[in-house]
């Protein structure tokens, strides 16, 4: 294949999508819907980026071999084929999520309980329809938006909290360390799902609640990981050397310790997103997650669970989406661990 061709093709596909859905593009401009604008921005940015990458691939000579940890890591990662595949799936899914308002064939909440009920997959409804006549493909696309956002946001909270707690405990040591680690133990001794169920049962269900709850119950692993890393890094000679040069604690933490903790944290976060998505699906399946009629993968599966025999497609496709996503995150996480772990790369 000619260099840059795949980028040109991608740009063309995105452009074609915009032209095909030009009515919706026009609607968005008029109505000012936020999700629509995000989709439009993704489209414009995507076309521009693909075109630019295409031009660069054709004009620029292959880049010199880099030696930074990230460049070495990237090379290692590329050798990990399943991880690359996982990453590609995730990129596609993320893109689909961002472009959902343009991509989805129908309104995910439009019902047609009489004529359109439990239709098998066809060219019109690629994934069939559910018991209320809603298009499953549209619901999976919109549901993916919710599920992936919950996954990313809750992990963001968990990682931030975990890094702050772990780094503080590891660097300060002493009674601060003792106190923080006992809090971690306390949080870890709660069964997560039951804790989730309790909290969700008390407060009115909303996406923010789920993100907050998943974030606040998922940080302990990261905290322990970071604490352990900081404890071992703190004793390294280069930290002592940095102290002997008169660097202040805050600078040592920010410039010398945290960057070296980052790799395992990234791996943990990647693996954690998969778990968060699973937890959200479980909650929604139990009817305690995202409030219906809003679609999330768990919701759609839950809706279809009563029609397993008459409408296998209602549960199968969102189920497949969950499996594919979680598996991809795990593949990428494993690949990152192998690529970034200094013990694996020479």
Partner 1 sequence: MSVLSVRDLRTYFHTDDGEARAVDGVSFDLADGEILALVGESGCGKSVTSLSILGLISTPPGEIMTGSSVQFGGRELLEASEDEMCQVRGGQIAMIFQEPMTSLNPVMRVGEQISEAIRAHSDDGRASVRTRVLELLERVGISDADSRYSAYPHQLSGGMRQRVMIAMALSCKPAVLIADEPTTALDVTIQAQILELLRGLREEIGMAILFVTHDLGVVAEMADRVAVMYAGRIVEEAPVADLFQRPRHPYTEGLLRAVPDPTAPGRLMSIPGAVPSPIERTSGCRFAPRCPHVWQRCHATEPPLAADGPTAVRCWLVEEPERRQDS
Residue with Cβ nearer partner 1 (22 or 248)? 248
- Minimum Å gap between C-beta 160 and partner 1 is 21
Residue with Cβ nearer partner 1 (182 or 248)? 248
Kindly report whether the peptide bond that precedes residue 172 is cis, defined as omega within 30 degrees of 0: no
Distance CA 296, CA 133 (A): 17
Cα of first residue to Cα of last residue in the chain, in angstroms, is: 32
- Minimum Å gap between C-beta 23 and partner 1 is 50
Residue with Cβ nearer partner 1 (113 or 259)? 259
Residue with Cβ nearer partner 1 (3 or 259)? 259
Residue with Cβ nearer partner 1 (189 or 235)? 235
Residue with Cβ nearer partner 1 (5 or 254)? 254
Question: Which residues make up the interface to partner 1 (CB under 8 A)?
Answer: 67-69, 236-238, 240-248, 251, 255-256, 259-260, 342
- Minimum Å gap between C-beta 228 and partner 1 is 18
Helix (H, G, I), strand (E, B) or coil at 22: helix
- Minimum Å gap between C-beta 260 and partner 1 is 6
| Residue 321: partners with Cβ closer than 8 Å, 6 or more residues away | 93, 140, 143, 144, 297
Distance CA 205, CA 207 (A): 7
- Minimum Å gap between C-beta 70 and partner 1 is 9
Helix (H, G, I), strand (E, B) or coil at 135: strand
Q: Which residues of 238-248 are buried (b: 16+ CB within 10 A; e: fewer)?
A: ebeebeeeeee
Return the HEC string of 68-117: CHHHHHHHHHHHCHHHHHHHHHHHHHHHHHHCHHHHCCCCCCCCCCCCCC
Residue with Cβ nearer partner 1 (7 or 171)? 171
- Minimum Å gap between C-beta 154 and partner 1 is 28
Residue with Cβ nearer partner 1 (152 or 247)? 247
Q: Dump the DSSP string for 218-266.
A: S-HHHHHHHHHHHHHHHTSHHHHHHHHTT--HHHIIIIIIHHHHHHHHH
Residue with Cβ nearer partner 1 (227 or 256)? 256
- Minimum Å gap between C-beta 68 and partner 1 is 6
Question: Within a 13 Å sphere around the CA of 174, how many CA atoms are in the beta-carbon half?
Answer: 3
- Which of 41, 25, 290 has its CA nearest to residue 144? 290
- Which of 282, 291, 310, 293 has its CA nearest to residue 128? 310
């Amino acid at each position: 294949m000619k260099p840059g061709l795949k980028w040109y093709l991608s740009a063309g596909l995105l452009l074609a999508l915009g032209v095909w859905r030009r009515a919706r593009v026009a609607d968005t401009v008029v109505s000012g819907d936020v999700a629509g604008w995000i989709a439009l921005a993704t489209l414009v940015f995507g076309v521009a980026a693909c075109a630019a990458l295409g031009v660069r691939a054709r004009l620029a000579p292959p880049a010199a071999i880099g030696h930074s940890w990230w460049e070495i890591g990237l090379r290692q990662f590329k050798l990990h084929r399943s991880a690359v595949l996982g990453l590609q799936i995730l990129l596609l899914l993320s893109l689909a999520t961002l472009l959902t308002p343009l991509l989805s064939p129908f309104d995910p909440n439009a019902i047609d309980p009489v004529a359109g009920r439990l239709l098998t997959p066809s060219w019109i409804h690629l994934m069939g329809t559910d018991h209320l006549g809603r298009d499953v493909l549209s619901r999976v696309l919109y549901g993916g938006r919710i599920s992936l956002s919950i996954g990313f946001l809750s992990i963001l909270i968990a990682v931030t909290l975990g890094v702050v707690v772990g780094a503080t405990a590891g660097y300060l040591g002493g009674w601060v360390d003792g106190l923080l680690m006992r809090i971690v133990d306390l949080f870890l001794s709660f069964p997560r799902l039951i804790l989730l169920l309790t909290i969700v049962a008390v407060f009115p269900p909303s996406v923010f609640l789920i993100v907050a709850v998943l974030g606040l119950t998922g940080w302990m692993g990261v905290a322990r990981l970071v604490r352990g890393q900081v404890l071992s890094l703190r004793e390294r000679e280069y930290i002592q050397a940095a102290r002997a040069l008169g660097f202040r604690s805050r600078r040592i933490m920010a410039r010398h310790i945290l960057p070296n903790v980052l790799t395992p944290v990234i791996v943990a976060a990647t693996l954690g997103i998969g778990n968060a998505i699973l937890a959200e699906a479980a909650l929604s399946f139990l009817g305690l997650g995202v409030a219906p009629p809003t679609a999330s993968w768990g919701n759609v599966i839950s809706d279809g669970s009563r029609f397993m025999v008459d409408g296998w497609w209602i549960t199968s496709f969102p189920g497949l989406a969950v499996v594919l996503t979680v598996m991809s995150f795990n593949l990428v996480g494993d690949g990152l661990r192998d690529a970034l772990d200094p013990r694996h790369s020479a």
